Amino acid sequence: MKREDEGLAFLLKYENIAWYEKGAVRILDRRIYPVKTEFVTCTDYTEVAQAIRDMVTQSAGPYLAAAMGMALAAYQAVHANVSAKNADAAGICAYCEKAAYDLSHARPTTVEQMKSIVEGSLNVIKKYAGTASADEIVQAAFEYAFNYVNGNYKKYAVIGAHTADLIPQNGTVITQCFADTVTGTMLRSCKESGKNVRIICAETRPYFQGSRLTASVACDMGFPVTVITDNMCAFTMKAKNVDLFTSASDVITIDGHIVNKVGTFQMALAARYYDIPYYVTGTPDPKHADLSTVTIEERDGDAVLKAWDARITMDGVKGYYPAFDITPPELCSGVVTELGVYEPHRLADYLKDSKKRDKNGHLTEE
């Protein structure tokens, strides 16, 4: 099978995101990259859940980590059974069901998307449990994870190409947080089509995903990249003649609201003020018709009182840390999906179009 991470930055190679091998899941610690390049090694699936909760990896990372975590859970389940000389299919399934629940609930905002991945893995494990060997069960769960990420990259290669099409030659793109795979595939598409692009990254406090992750991917792939702090976005859009603002999304509701890393909304406001288009990448989520089913995660406020390691505030000062914000559809120029670009008010069309396609994206009717 062709690996879809070819030509992408270090940070986007599967082995450098989350990878199951021999009873352990290895996760690149995105909290400290590129200051340090270190991996967290988990030998229990609950450690994977904890790593997701602790944001060792983020953006698309947690989904692969969860899928690889299911392979680890399968390993733990069959290993426990094998060592007890009591290969019990029901026991394996029960153990992995618990793992699926724990992994999908590691972060409140992404429960629904996580579920669809870990439950896919769970179905594979259930199918093999009782009939296949211990190794085969684990291998099946690993392959599920690999196919999941590889298929996802294939989809994001299409989204990246659609996004690249929206950038003018010699264009300047401002980004928020880390759009992960799409950042890489968008830039790979630009490179393939000979398009010169300059990237401006908002640093994205408190964890600096913009300056550490997005900037590193662009730099790794040979594009000129400039970092600004989060208070400079509006000024820079005008001063640096930004052509396009783009971000990924944690949730896109069917009525066109975008839930993404906090800061996206005020960047969209500034972009609108200057008539700069804002394109969000991602998949409108049929599980979220509107915002009523979305929980905005509030994280430990102490994180905002720190700059990297150092605490910089006086004792007695508190922090507030809403992890996401909500951009209303009227501030977004288009939702870039694997099926093309949709107006945020017409995402029902995306659902219709996607129903006409099979898992491989081929038309099944018309």
Rank residues 23 and 322 by Cβ distance to its own copies and give the closer one.
322
Minimum distance of its own copies from residue 47's CB (angstroms): 26
How far apart, in whole angstroms, are the C-alpha atoms of residue 34 and residue 334?
Answer: 32
Considering only 6, 275, 309, 358, the residue that binds its own copies (CB under 8 A) is 309
How far apart, in whole angstroms, are the C-alpha atoms of residue 52 and residue 104?
Answer: 10
Rank residues 204 and 281 by Cβ distance to its own copies and give the closer one.
204
Which of 105, 133, 138, 121 minimizes the C-alpha distance to 64? 121
Q: Does 249 bind its own copies (CB under 8 A)?
A: no
Residue span binding its own copies (CB under 8 A) among the ranges 71-79, 186-194, 234-242, 351-359: 234-242
Considering only 46, 139, 150, 226, the residue that binds its own copies (CB under 8 A) is 226
Rank residues 326 and 348 by Cβ distance to its own copies and give the closer one.
326
Residue span binding its own copies (CB under 8 A) among the ranges 42-50, 143-151, 210-218, 343-351: 210-218
Give the residue carrying structure tokens 């120029």.
333
Considering only 158, 219, 254, 291, the residue that binds its own copies (CB under 8 A) is 219
Minimum distance of its own copies from residue 261's CB (angstroms): 8
Which of 136, 360, 364 minimizes the C-alpha distance to 352? 364
Both tokens of 87, joined, read 């290969």
Q: Kindly report the backbone phi and psi dihedral angles of residue 18, in degrees, each rounded to the nearest multiple of 5, phi listed first.
A: -155, 135
Q: Does 87 bind its own copies (CB under 8 A)?
A: no
Minimum distance of its own copies from residue 33's CB (angstroms): 9
Q: Does 211 bind its own copies (CB under 8 A)?
A: yes
Considering only 307, 352, 356, 361, the residue that binds its own copies (CB under 8 A) is 307
Residues within window 321-350 making contact with its own copies, judged by CB under 8 A: 321-322, 325-326
Q: Does 171 bind its own copies (CB under 8 A)?
A: no
Minimum distance of its own copies from residue 211's CB (angstroms): 5
Q: Does 202 bind its own copies (CB under 8 A)?
A: yes
Q: Does 292 bind its own copies (CB under 8 A)?
A: no
Minimum distance of its own copies from residue 213's CB (angstroms): 10
Q: 361 — alpha (psi -120 to 50), left (phi > 0) or beta?
A: left
Strands 244-247 and 278-281: parallel
Q: Does 46 bind its own copies (CB under 8 A)?
A: no
Rank residues 37 and 170 by Cβ distance to its own copies and give the closer one.
37
Considering only 68, 157, 174, 225, the residue that binds its own copies (CB under 8 A) is 225
Beta bridge partners of 93: none
Which of 112, 125, 110, 127 minimizes the C-alpha distance to 45? 125
- What string of DSSP letters covers 58-119? -TTHHHHHHHHHHHHHHHHHHHHHHHTT---HHHHHHHHHHHHHHHHTSSGGGHHHHHHHHH
Minimum distance of its own copies from residue 300's CB (angstroms): 13
Question: Which residues are marked as active site?
Answer: 250
Q: Does 293 bind its own copies (CB under 8 A)?
A: no
Considering only 111, 254, 269, 341, the residue that binds its own copies (CB under 8 A) is 269
Rank residues 325 and 343 by Cβ distance to its own copies and give the closer one.
325
Considering only 29, 143, 165, 220, the residue that binds its own copies (CB under 8 A) is 220
Which of 301, 261, 121, 97 minimizes the C-alpha distance to 177? 261
On whether the CB atoms of residues 16 and 24 are closer than 8 A, the answer is: no
What are the Cα distances from residue 79, in Å, to 22, 87, 89, 158?
Answer: 12, 9, 12, 40
What are the Cα distances from residue 212, in Å, to 61, 151, 257?
Answer: 15, 26, 27
Count of residues interacting with its own copies (CB under 8 A): 59
The burial of 180, by beta-carbon neighbours within 10 Å (0-12 exposed, 13-18 middle, 19 or more buried), is given as buried
Q: In what order do the strands lie in the sheet with 324-327?
A: 251-252, 258-261, 324-327
| Binding region for its own copies (CB under 8 A) | 34-35, 176, 200, 202-206, 208, 211-212, 215-216, 219-220, 224-236, 239-240, 261-263, 265-266, 269-270, 273, 301, 304-305, 307-314, 316-322, 325-326
